[in-house]
């Protein structure tokens, strides 16, 4: 399965110096079901749905604590993650990246794209039951 290589899902240095949320919204347009959500004038997350190759739809909720300096938390919304699924954190959030792989120039749209890849691998893992796609028999 190919990884997503999309330079337009990260912020350029110029975008980093300007109104980040304007560019975040622009880049998120690639995923029309996703919206930024907030509280008291602050963006606190994003939510939307992703469809997979098997025609399943997954609602996703993203929390943005200390964004953009820390990895967003990606959570299932209105569905349960299989308890033995690989690549999830102890709190039940999806592990699309390790914390040390996160960079502040990654965008919410980048996280959505990585989540779509994660969901495709998750569905294949559920179907074959023994290995996470791309890792052979290590999981």
Residue with tokens 């299989």: 82
The mean pLDDT of the chain is 87
pLDDT value of position 135: 63
**At 78, is the pLDDT very low, low, confident or very high (cuts 50, 70, 90)?**
very high
Return the DSSP state at 97. S
- Give 17's pLDDT tier (boundaries 50, 70, 90): low
Residue 34 has pLDDT above 50, yes or no: yes
85-128 pLDDT, tens digit per residue, is: 899 999 999 999 999 999 999 999 999 999 999 999 999 999 88
Record the pTM: 0.86
Give buried/exposed letters for 4-25 (b at 16+ CB in 10 A, else e). eeeeebbbeeebeeeebeebbb
Q: Which of 35-49, 68-82, 123-137 has the lowest mean pLDDT?
A: 123-137
User: 7-128 has which CATH code?
Assistant: 3.10.110.10
The domain spans of the chain are 7-128
In angstroms, rounded to a whole number, what is the distance separating the alpha carbons of residues 118 and 95?
8
Q: Is the pLDDT of residue 130 over 80?
A: no
**Averaged over 24-50, what is the pLDDT?**
91
> What values do phi and psi take at 103, rounded to 5?
-130, 140
């Amino acid at each position: 399965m190919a990884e997503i290589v999309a330079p337009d899902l990260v912020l350029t240095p110029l975008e980093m110096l300007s109104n980040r949320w304007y560019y975040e919204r622009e880049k998120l347009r690639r995923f029309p079901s996703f919206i930024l959500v907030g509280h008291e004038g602050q963006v606190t997350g994003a939510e939307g749905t992703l469809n997979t190759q098997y025609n399943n739809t997954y609602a996703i909720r993203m929390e943005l604590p200390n964004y953009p300096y820390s990895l967003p938390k990606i959570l299932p919304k209105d569905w349960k993650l299989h308890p033995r699924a690989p690549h999830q954190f102890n709190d039940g959030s999806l592990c699309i990246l390790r914390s040390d792989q996160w960079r502040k120039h990654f965008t919410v749209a980048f996280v959505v794209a990585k989540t779509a890849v994660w969901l495709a691998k998750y569905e294949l893992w559920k179907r074959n039951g023994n290995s996470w796609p791309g890792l052979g028999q290590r999981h």
